Structure 1
Amino acid sequence: MKTQKLNLVKKTFKIKPMILACAAAFPMWTHAAVSEAEVEQLRDEVKALKAMMQQYVQQQNTLSSEIKDVKQGPVVTAQTQKTTQTPSLSLNTKSGAEFSLYGNVRADASYQAEGGSLSRLYNQMNSVPLEGNAESSDRLKATLAATRLGLDFKTPTQVGEVGGKIEVDFLGANDGLRIRHAYLTYGDWLVGQTWSNFAVPDYMPETIDALGYVGGAVKRTPQVRYSHKFSPETNLVLAAEDSKDDSSNMRLPALTARLNHKMTDTLMLSARAMGAEKKTDTDTETAWGLGLGAKLDLTDKTVLKADYYHVKGDSSFVSWTNQGFVTNADKDIIATNEFDSITVGLTQQISAQWRGTLGYGYMKADNNADYVNSLVDKTKANKNLWQAWANVFYSPVKPISLGLEYVYGEREAFGAAPNGSTKGEDNRINAVAMYNF
């Protein structure tokens, strides 16, 4: 179409001189001896030629304008831009909240040379049988119970954005569905269940075991939490939590505080504190704890993590601990357990597809005679625990992660079994395959 218009322009320039020549010759014709009818005919033809010339001039101007537009390109208006943009995909609930779906399909397997009961695949270091006493040896276990499904929500409002999360897996009783996280957020506030403000997993070295190893904690509690940011590097988090301690009749929530500080671009620190009332039918006692975590990027591919706890009177926040307190026949609290624990690990990103971790965890209980002598079964309480592990992960493509891990650990009990043994052993190879979506 544009080519046809350009050809029409060329023809227009050729016709125009002919029209002008005819017009110039017209006066000469009027001096000749011609009839009145011929003169009128000539006048009509001249008028027609003038009309044709004006039409051609208009067409020429129009074509010139179009040619200029072709050279400059189309003019895109704001309205054109608005209507030609590809709309973004948005998922909404019936009430108008935006949401996104995430999760993983996870298959775990473990070959257990020595370890805990047949009913559980994951870590149970504090209760593995003592040597020679109904040990669970040479067992293969598998489960998909750690498969996870989550939803993140957000709703813009006139007074700010309201957010929420629901996340579940199948690690409940008999592989039943259980709540991992379920909370709402508004401004600096959080209400619901999520990671404890005291026993955070952020500084645990990476493991394949879904529950982690000695020295770490994977505690999730119902809580009301408030966060305050002092600067881009420092923030304080305060929370009132239900620690779900079955040994205590909770009357007041546990109070926790966590101060996070980014020392440098490569070093992050976290200091934590906890206080909680432990209550029986006739007595009360105050439990407390301190924690310190650190994450250091040694290089852009090497990360060092460490986490330390000192706790007295509580067994609900940090995993694998002894009973927090013991009572007499009258339900009076006569002694409490006190312990120190630490976990440390190094993770190396070997390549874009490969990474691995070396880790070690240790826990030591205070040798409190009043506490130990009050225990009904001293073989179920531990002087100390330790575990060491090494794992490697391979991701052939981004959504898939395959892992293999070896873990070895020991526990030393306060009391000896009938055969005189005080040592229990955990010796396993773990494997995992995950599809993350």
Structure 2
Amino acid sequence: MKRSSLFLALMAAGLCSLSPQVFAQSAQDFNDLRAEIKALRTEINQLKAQQAQAPVAPAASASNWNDRLDNVELRQKDAVVLGDIPGSFRLPGSETSIRVYGFAEANAIKDFKSTAPGDNFTNLAEQPLNSGHPATGKTVLTGQTSRFGFETSTPMSNGAFNTKIEADFYGYCGNECNRNRLRLRHAYGEYAGWLIGQTWSTFMDLDDMPETVDFNGPPGATFRRPVQARYTWNNPNLAKFQFALEEPSDGAHSPNLVARVDKGFDWGTLNARILSHEQRVGNASKRGFGFGLGGSYKLTGTATLMAQYTQVDGDGDGAYLVGANYPVLDGGTLRLDRARGVVLGLTNTFSEHLRATVSVGTVRSTRNVGDAYVNAYGLDGNERLTQWHLGFYYLPIKNVELGTELIGGRRTTYGGDTGSLSRLNLQARYIFN
């Protein structure tokens, strides 16, 4: 907690140290100041030449011109010009563009049925079963998903060197407390096709992920931010290829391997992804595999249909495929339950003030390892999860978004029991930069 407080203090000190001109000056302002200094220096040289021929009140005249010159030089020193990336700035003498961004966000969540433990937002994998559990609603108010970050871009000989650091306040600290702690989301550097640091998994199809007001979104897709080393080779005439070594799953000894290819078209996009990952429980280890396909299709100028399919053998972190079952130790053998997930979404922008998205996600256990899960956990292991979202965002004024979303879901266990999810999520988001 002390490190989190120190980080916030340093960020606040850095932001407060910026002059008021940081967000007011432009590149043209800076050039105008330079031109004014040049003109003043020319006038001073002319004045000195006149004084040499007929000196009249030299002290007063020189003092007046020097005062004007000092004033303009101070303005130039304090000036900050616009950077090379939208919303960024550069300090004089620096080629690095800096952008500070984020939003303050508040969510009001009303559960009409029982609430899953461990999270304010949807957690269908642990949704209480209908049998023996009365439908007791719950209301939650939280601002913990507010976030801030900064990114930089510096021109280099082989392209720009980019960095990014982003955090929110949704860090998990166990069942004994809520999530109101600083949490690192992204921290990486990127140059000449290489990215090293923490960010979205290369296996994750972020481009074809439907927007939801709910922070977690539907099951059936990848949602992971591991530390990784990634190389990207982009040939506009062919495709974009990516290869990555990613942070091992919980307890594993070897990194996860990911390869991916993306291709854009006038009508939309397509991608294919493969994964090799080690899963480990105690001393038992097994390597599993994953495969994914995704794409989008532009139905009209404002409406886009998106879809993704993901298949993963076991997932100890529950992030390479949200909703997949964890590996199970069956005697001395590690069992990996093969799960298949599908996410579909349709989004439409009605105007600059209103957009809407409808989506559904489902994940199903398909490998015949039910007995192993029953032996380990009883009949409560998940055979299928399905969740749908219907959400709207309204923008009444610049930098303000108001969201509302209806969410429903159904959990089905190996034993045939079901758990139903029904909730309303309201959101207010105030964006800076």
CA–CA separation in structure 1 for the residues paired with 2:305 and 2:370: 39
Structure 1 counterpart of 2:244: 239
Considering only CA atoms, is the larger Rg found in Structure 1 or Structure 2? Answer: 1
Structure 1 counterpart of 2:422: 427
TM-score by length of 2: 0.74
CA–CA separation in structure 1 for the residues paired with 2:419 and 2:289: 29
Superposed displacement of residue 398, structure 1: 2.5
Deviates more, 1:400-409 or 1:224-233: 224-233
- Give the letter aligned to residue 83 of structure 1: A
State yes or no: 1:109 paired with 2:124: no
- Give the letter aligned to residue 428 of structure 2: A
2:224 equivalent among 219, 224, 228:
219
Structure 1 counterpart of 2:329: 327
Cα deviations by residue, 1:254-310 (Å, 9 ceiling, x for unpaired): 000110001x21210110000012234433211111011111111111011111111
CA–CA separation in structure 1 for the residues paired with 2:135 and 2:284: 39
1:156 counterpart SS class: strand
Superposed displacement of residue 343, structure 1: 0.8
1:83 equivalent among 35, 40, 51:
35
CA–CA separation in structure 1 for the residues paired with 2:324 and 2:302: 37
State yes or no: 1:386 paired with 2:381: no
Superposed displacement of residue 134, structure 1: 4.2
CA–CA separation in structure 1 for the residues paired with 2:252 and 2:334: 18
The answer to whether the 8 A contact 1:104-1:147 is kept is yes
The answer to whether the 8 A contact 2:105-2:145 is kept is yes
State yes or no: 1:204 paired with 2:199: no
Structure 2 counterpart of 1:146: 145
Structure 1 counterpart of 2:123: 124
The answer to whether the 8 A contact 1:115-1:428 is kept is no
CA–CA separation in structure 2 for the residues paired with 1:318 and 1:380: 22
Superposed displacement of residue 148, structure 1: 0.8
Cα deviations by residue, 1:382-426 (Å, 9 ceiling, x for unpaired): 11111122111100123111111001110101136xxxxx10011
Structure 2 counterpart of 1:164: 163
**CA spacing shift, 1:227–1:369, aligned 2, 3 Å:** closer
CA–CA separation in structure 2 for the residues paired with 1:369 and 1:159: 51
- Give the letter aligned to residue 186 of structure 2: H
Q: How many residues align?
A: 348
The answer to whether the 8 A contact 2:205-2:294 is kept is no
The answer to whether the 8 A contact 1:129-1:135 is kept is no
How much identity, in percent, do the aligned residues show?
Answer: 28
Q: C-alpha root-mean-square deviation of aligned residues, in Å?
A: 2.6
Structure 1 counterpart of 2:431: 436
CA–CA separation in structure 2 for the residues paired with 1:325 and 1:87: 54
Deviates more, 1:79-88 or 1:391-400: 79-88
The answer to whether the 8 A contact 1:91-1:100 is kept is no
Cα deviations by residue, 1:369-388 (Å, 9 ceiling, x for unpaired): 46545542234421111112
**CA spacing shift, 1:253–1:136, aligned 2, 3 Å:** farther
**CA spacing shift, 1:252–1:313, aligned 2, 3 Å:** same
Structure 2 counterpart of 1:74: none
The answer to whether the 8 A contact 2:245-2:257 is kept is yes
Superposed displacement of residue 94, structure 1: 12
The answer to whether the 8 A contact 1:326-1:371 is kept is no
Superposed displacement of residue 117, structure 1: 3.5
Deviates more, 1:210-219 or 1:163-172: 210-219
The answer to whether the 8 A contact 2:205-2:308 is kept is no
State yes or no: 1:350 paired with 2:350: yes
**CA spacing shift, 1:256–1:127, aligned 2, 3 Å:** same
Counterparts of residues 45-64 of structure 1 (less than 5 Å)? none
Structure 2 counterpart of 1:365: 365
State yes or no: 1:405 paired with 2:405: yes
**CA spacing shift, 1:88–1:127, aligned 2, 3 Å:** same
CA–CA separation in structure 1 for the residues paired with 2:143 and 2:358: 25
The answer to whether the 8 A contact 1:108-1:431 is kept is yes
TM-score by length of 1: 0.74
The answer to whether the 8 A contact 2:125-2:411 is kept is yes
Counterparts of residues 299-318 of structure 1 (less than 5 Å)? 299-316=300-317, 317-318=319-320
CA–CA separation in structure 2 for the residues paired with 1:239 and 1:373: 32
Structure 1 alignment gaps of length 5 or more: 1-78, 417-421
Superposed displacement of residue 218, structure 1: 2.2
Structure 2 alignment gaps of length 5 or more: 1-30, 38-78, 83-88, 173-178
Structure 2 counterpart of 1:256: 258
1:183 equivalent among 182, 188, 207:
188
Structure 2 counterpart of 1:12: none
CA–CA separation in structure 2 for the residues paired with 1:366 and 1:96: 54
CA–CA separation in structure 1 for the residues paired with 2:340 and 2:364: 5
**CA spacing shift, 1:148–1:383, aligned 2, 3 Å:** same
The answer to whether the 8 A contact 2:359-2:388 is kept is yes
The answer to whether the 8 A contact 1:168-1:177 is kept is yes
Superposed displacement of residue 224, structure 1: 0.2
CA–CA separation in structure 1 for the residues paired with 2:253 and 2:94: 37
- Give the letter aligned to residue 253 of structure 1: P
**CA spacing shift, 1:81–1:377, aligned 2, 3 Å:** closer
Cα deviations by residue, 1:129-181 (Å, 9 ceiling, x for unpaired): 00144456221111101101010012334565321000000110331000000
Deviates more, 1:393-402 or 1:364-373: 364-373
2:35 counterpart SS class: helix
- Give the letter aligned to residue 206 of structure 2: P
The answer to whether the 8 A contact 2:286-2:334 is kept is no
CA–CA separation in structure 2 for the residues paired with 1:367 and 1:118: 27
- Give the letter aligned to residue 424 of structure 1: G
Counterparts of residues 92-103 of structure 1 (less than 5 Å)? 92=91, 97-103=96-102
The answer to whether the 8 A contact 1:116-1:135 is kept is no
